[in-house]
Amino acid sequence: MKMYFTLGEATHLRYLFPLARQFSLQGGTPVFLPFSKGKYNCIKRYEKILKKLASSINAEINWLPGFKKTGEIIFCVEGAKGDENRFASGLIPQDNRVITLVSQLDFLHNFYIYKECSESIIFPSNFLMRCGHPELSANTFEPFNPKNIAIGSPKYDVVFNKDKILQKYKLSSRPKVLFIYPSPSSIGCQFGPLYNNKKDRGLGDDEIIKMYKILNELGFEILVKNRGKFDNIEEKLKGDHYFLDPSWFPHDTMQLISISDLVINADSTAIKEIVMGKKPVINFDLFNKDAYGKGFDFLYKYNYCREFYGFPSAKDFVDACKFLVSTNLKDEFDKSITNHLFKAGSSSKNILHYVLN
């Protein structure tokens, strides 16, 4: 039996590869259906990585267009939105069993695409499926649509080996802090600036450098993770080690979170990965919420997180760092994950069971 996995972006390997791997382990033949979207993370640019991953699980690769089959099970992420907001840019016949995996918050605005092309729409948890984030929604999301089901996310069906990651990225054994570098304010120009101040990244360069100095004095090795399409920062802002999406599966952000003792965030939706990875976090709450809201705001309301609404005094920042790395926060993480997310490790098995039975 064959099962198909539509890939328009390398990012989607985080979700689809664990599913394809599990299907292969169950005796099936996974088939990747990549197509070009022209983005910075377009799968065509990472064809070598795709071929290597496919070979590791005996999967096939069939580049679109050219797929004429009907009645097949086809997985996609976020409705595989392509040109003119059509499923896979119109390159796959609609009369297939399309299963959409929800990843971030795109469903709040693009749900109409998902429900049109999908047999089922899989959410990570009941809470995420029902809460709806009404303050962020464009009124297209239908939290009680019968196609919706909460089963988990295959993205988290991965086990990290700290020693191998340290060796892979040539890192020391020192304590580490991961700084998820803020996106530029210009990406929010459609509705106004992204941040509630006039700074391009929410934090000024001088503030970031000051933060690095404090972290180094506390003994941390500073890892800075940026997105490939925003690689326009000066050398002095790149910390001790700088990363730009070198690995799509396992994704480098998740790998770096797993080996870090503390994460510093600026309202990024990576808060999901941080909480699932059970890593304490300092968050700079700087988003222009009148225009954009704050994604996954409920995940910040636990003791594993300390928030600042501007750049803090050195003392307050140091106190936050020391509290977070010295406190046993297991119960807080467990509570948050139980309330809002899901138990990681078996989502691929559960999703395949649902689809095949």
Give strand ranges (E) for 202-320: 221-225, 241-243, 262-265, 281-284, 305-308
Could you read off the pLDDT of 262-272 as tens digits, one per residue? Answer: 999 998 989 99
Angstrom distance (rounded) from CA 117 to CA 90: 11
Would you call 151 helix, strand, or coil by DSSP?
coil
Helix (H) or strand (E) holding 32: strand 29-34
Residues 127 and 339 sit within 8 Å (Cβ to Cβ): yes
Q: Where are the alpha helices (DSSP H) in 118-249?
A: 126-131, 162-168, 205-217
pLDDT at 28 exceeding the cut of 70: yes
- Mean pLDDT over 149-170 rounds to 96
pLDDT computed for residue 63 by the predictor: 92
Q: What is the CA radius of gyration of the chain?
A: 20
- DSSP 8-state assignment for residue 80: G
Angstrom distance (rounded) from CA 80 to CA 11: 12
pLDDT computed for residue 300 by the predictor: 96
pLDDT at 82 exceeding the cut of 80: no
pLDDT at 93 exceeding the cut of 80: yes
pLDDT computed for residue 31 by the predictor: 98
Residue 206 — very low, low, confident or very high, per pLDDT cuts 50/70/90? very high
pLDDT computed for residue 295 by the predictor: 80
Residue found under tokens 């000051």: 210
pLDDT at 138 exceeding the cut of 80: no
pTM beyond cutoff 0.75: yes
Could you read off the pLDDT of 319-347 as tens digits, one per residue? Answer: 999 999 999 999 999 999 999 999 999 99
Angle among Cα 127, 283, 233 to the nearest 5 degrees reads: 120
pLDDT at 291 exceeding the cut of 90: no
pLDDT at 189 exceeding the cut of 60: no
pLDDT computed for residue 130 by the predictor: 84
- Mean pLDDT over 123-136 rounds to 78
pLDDT cut 90: percent of the chain above it: 65
Tell me the pLDDT of the chain averaged across its residues: 90
Angstrom distance (rounded) from CA 265 to CA 136: 20
Residue 114 — very low, low, confident or very high, per pLDDT cuts 50/70/90? confident
pLDDT computed for residue 139 by the predictor: 63
pLDDT at 207 exceeding the cut of 90: yes
Q: Which domains does the chain have, with CATH numbers?
A: 2-153+344-356 (3.40.50), 162-340 (3.40.50.2000)
